[in-house]
Structures are given as structure tokens and as C-alpha cells.
């Protein structure tokens, strides 16, 4: 799967939601893209950020993370401490990695900060114990033993969330279809976790479980009126087509909706485009026909019996496609769903078109953010021209 940039334009006005919507509509109109094909999906990365940040608000956890930030800032500011740390790393045969400072807008940067601190714990402790680095009576930068233990437990608890964040931020493979299964897996990993024996650890587990249920608990329920794109994408992914994360009665609802969408998509492709042919929307009044007869006439009354039979045959073919697709076994999780649809396009000609339109939806806004970052590096005063 590839991501393409359709257009770039200078934006001199304020970047408000209304202005951004207007600019997007201009691009959509320029490339003659139907607005009905647009899909609005909440960024899963932002949701994970809210879930984790809310789960880390326990007082003891906040204090431990605050102490960790202060410790990292001390080594970032002090050239002496940083030099001594490198010496201790070499002496203790520890990887000579720099400490990582977290960023408030990315929760996983906090995870990486703590992970690096735990890796460098003993070189850091030895450096802070050096009188040249830390004067006597000022050893307050080092963390307490219970804080080190808490941070170690947190990294284990946060690791599944980090793995999910990294996976959902990908842009060369389908991500939205994996979201319901990942949400179910995160909930399971939190509920089955036995690592946290302290009160702060239990508070983290309880809050994380509650946040996951409130924000992603709806993945187990399908509402036709909302047309849940996440669940439909999962259903069209051959790795998750059995929808095992949902109750049986809900699976049937999703499958029937997929059938309706496939039928609707195929019917649109049946409409002839040549002038004078039947369009399926306007039936002209026949000569000698009364007004009442015209009102009672259906949209397909102008079709011949042969045309009606042909249309019914195609409808049955689409229905058979859907039934055959959902009756087959799931493919292994490591396989590419888009590659599978390409290989099986001959067996499922109607559904393959529908699947491609859903599986290309990204689960996060990370691909777009990467484009913004790249554009910011290129269009700057530091780089006025491109060099091969």
C-alpha cells in the first residue's frame, strides 16, 4: 500500500477547522473525488494518548515520572555529568546510549525515557555517587528504590500499548481493520496482568481497563445507522472476517451490511453512461399513459424482461460472493490482506472493490503528520533548494 500527496498549497489564513475543511474541498473538487466517498475516522493514536495519559495520573506514578524527567534534564544540562556517565557506561560494559527526554504530546516518548533510564540505571547511580558530579548532601537527583521498581513495572504494563501505537502508525499496510482486534487484545493484556502488586500499579490497571472500555468498548457492538467503518473494515479483512471479537448476533448484522454495501457499489457500476440509456432514476411518462399510471410505475418498469433478468442474476452473484467469503477460513495474521484480495479478485470481483476502499483507510493521522514534518524540513530557510 502506498500513500500519495495529491496537492500542496500555501495557506496564509488561520488554520481553523472551517478553513482546513474549505481547502480540502478545493482539492477534492480539483481531482473530481466524490464527497460521498469520504470517511471520518477518529485517530486511534490520539485515543491511545488519552488512554495512557489518563492511566498515569496516579499520584505515586506522577511523582516517579516527574523525578525521572528531572534526572534526565540534569544529565542533559550538565556536560560534566554527561561525560562521567559515558565513562561509567564504558567501565560497566553498558551500551553507550544517551538518555531520552520525553515529549508531552507523545505518550510513548515517556515509555522510551523510562526504558532507557532502566537500561542505564547502574551507570547513572554510579555517576551520581561521584563527588565530582554531585556534591555531598545533594544526592536528590537519584530515584528512590521504590520509584525504580515502579518504573520497571510500568514499562512492562505499557509495552503492549507501545506495540499497538507503533503498529497502528504504519502506512504501508492495512491498519484500521486491525483496530478492534488490537483493542480487545489490550483489554485482555490489562485484565490478565499479574505484574502489579503495589497500589499505584493496581490503580494503573484499573484506570487503563476503564478507559479502554469507555473509548473502544463499542467495537463489540454494531449499529446500522452509524455505519461503523472500523467494524466494516475488519469484516473485509480476510484475517479477521470471522469477527471473533464480537457476539454472534452482531456478526450477522455486519455481514448483512457488507452485502448491502457490495450490492450498492455494484449497482452503481451497472448504470450505463451513454446518453439515452436507462439510468435507473428517471422513468419518462409514456404516450397515452395517465398521471396515476405514471405515479404507480417503478424505476425498473422501463427495463425489458431480459434486462431485469440480467440485473437479478448479478444481484444473486454478489450475494453468493458475500456468503462464500464469510464461509471461508481466516488467513494467517502475518499475511497481507490487500495482497490476498489482489490474488482472489477473480473469485470476488464485487467485494474486492469494496475491500480496497475500506482497507486503505489509515487508523491514525501519523502518515499525514509525517508529510507535514517532511515538508517543514524541506520548505525552510535552512534548505532553500533540493539537492540530489
pLDDT tens by residue, 209-224: 999 999 998 887 887 6
pLDDT tens digit string along 242-258? Answer: 998 888 888 888 988 89
Q: Is the pLDDT of residue 271 over 50?
A: yes
pLDDT given at position 277: 46
Query: Of 170-179, 286-295, 350-359, which gets the smallest average pLDDT?
Result: 286-295
Round to whole Å and give the CA distance between 114 and 91: 22
**How close are the terminal C-alpha atoms of the chain, in Å?**
26
pLDDT given at position 95: 93
Per-chain mean pLDDT for the chain: 83
Count of beta carbons in the 10 Å neighbourhood of residue 11: 10
Q: Is the pLDDT of residue 276 over 50?
A: no
- The angle at the Cα of 168, spanning 162 to 172, to the nearest 5 degrees, equals 130
Q: Is the pLDDT of residue 85 over 90?
A: yes
SS3 of 312, please?
helix
pLDDT tens digit string along 136-188? Answer: 656 567 889 999 999 998 998 899 999 999 999 998 999 999 999 999 999 99
DSSP 342-353: HHTTTT-HHHHH
The domain segmentation of the chain, as residue ranges, is 44-219, 223-269+305-370
Count of beta carbons in the 10 Å neighbourhood of residue 35: 9
Amino acid at each position: 500500500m502506498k500513500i500519495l500527496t495529491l496537492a500542496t498549497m500555501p495557506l496564509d489564513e488561520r488554520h481553523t477547522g472551517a478553513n482546513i475543511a474549505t481547502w480540502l474541498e478545493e482539492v477534492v473538487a480539483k481531482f473530481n473525488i466524490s464527497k460521498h466517498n469520504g470517511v471520518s475516522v477518529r485517530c486511534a493514536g490520539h485515543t491511545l494518548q488519552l488512554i495512557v495519559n489518563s492511566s498515569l495520573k496516579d499520584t505515586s506514578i506522577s511523582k516517579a515520572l516527574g523525578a525521572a524527567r528531572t534526572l534526565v534534564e540534569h544529565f542533559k544540562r550538565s556536560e560534566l555529568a554527561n561525560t562521567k556517565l559515558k565513562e561509567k557506561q564504558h567501565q560497566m560494559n553498558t551500551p553507550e546510549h544517551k538518555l531520552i527526554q520525553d515529549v508531552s504530546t507523545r505518550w510513548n516518548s515517556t515509555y522510551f525515557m523510562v526504558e532507557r533510564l532502566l537500561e542505564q540505571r547502574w551507570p547513572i547511580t554510579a555517576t551520581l555517587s561521584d563527588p565530582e558530579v554531585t556534591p555531598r548532601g545533594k544526592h536528590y537527583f537519584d530515584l528512590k528504590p521504590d520509584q525504580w521498581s515502579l518504573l520497571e513495572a510500568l514499562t512492562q504494563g505499557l509495552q503492549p500499548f507501545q506495540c499497538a501505537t507503533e503498529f497502528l502508525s504504519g502506512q504501508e499496510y492495512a491498519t484500521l481493520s486491525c483496530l478492534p482486534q488490537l483493542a480487545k487484545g489490550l483489554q485482555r493484556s490489562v485484565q490478565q496482568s499479574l505484574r502489579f502488586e503495589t497500589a499505584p500499579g493496581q490503580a494503573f490497571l484499573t484506570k487503563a481497563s476503564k478507559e479502554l472500555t469507555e473509548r473502544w468498548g463499542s467495537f463489540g457492538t454494531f449499529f446500522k445507522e452509524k455505519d461503523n467503518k472500523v467494524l466494516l473494515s475488519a469484516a473485509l479483512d480476510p484475517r479477521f472476517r470471522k469477527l471473533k471479537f464480537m457476539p454472534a448476533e452482531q456478526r450477522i448484522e455486519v455481514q448483512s451490511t457488507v452485502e448491502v454495501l457490495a450490492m450498492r457499489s455494484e449497482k452503481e457500476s451497472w448504470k450505463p453512461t451513454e446518453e439515452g440509456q436507462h439510468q435507473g432514476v428517471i422513468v419518462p411518462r409514456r404516450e397515452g399513459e395517465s398521471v396515476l399510471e405514471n405515479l404507480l410505475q417503478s424505476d425498473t418498469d422501463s427495463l425489458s424482461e431480459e434486462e431485469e433478468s440480467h440485473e437479478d442474476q448479478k444481484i444473486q452473484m454478489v450475494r453468493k460472493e458475500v456468503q462464500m467469503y464469510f464461509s471461508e477460513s481466516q488467513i494467517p495474521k502475518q499475511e497481507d490482506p490487500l495482497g490476498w484480495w489482489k490474488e482472489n479478485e477473480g473469485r470476488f470481483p464485487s467485494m474486492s472493490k469494496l475491500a480496497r476502499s475500506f482497507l486503505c483507510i489509515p487508523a491514525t493521522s501519523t502518515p499525514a503528520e509525517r508529510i507535514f514534518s517532511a515538508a517543514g524540513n524541506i520548505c525552510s530557510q535552512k534548505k532553500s533548494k533540493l539537492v540530489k
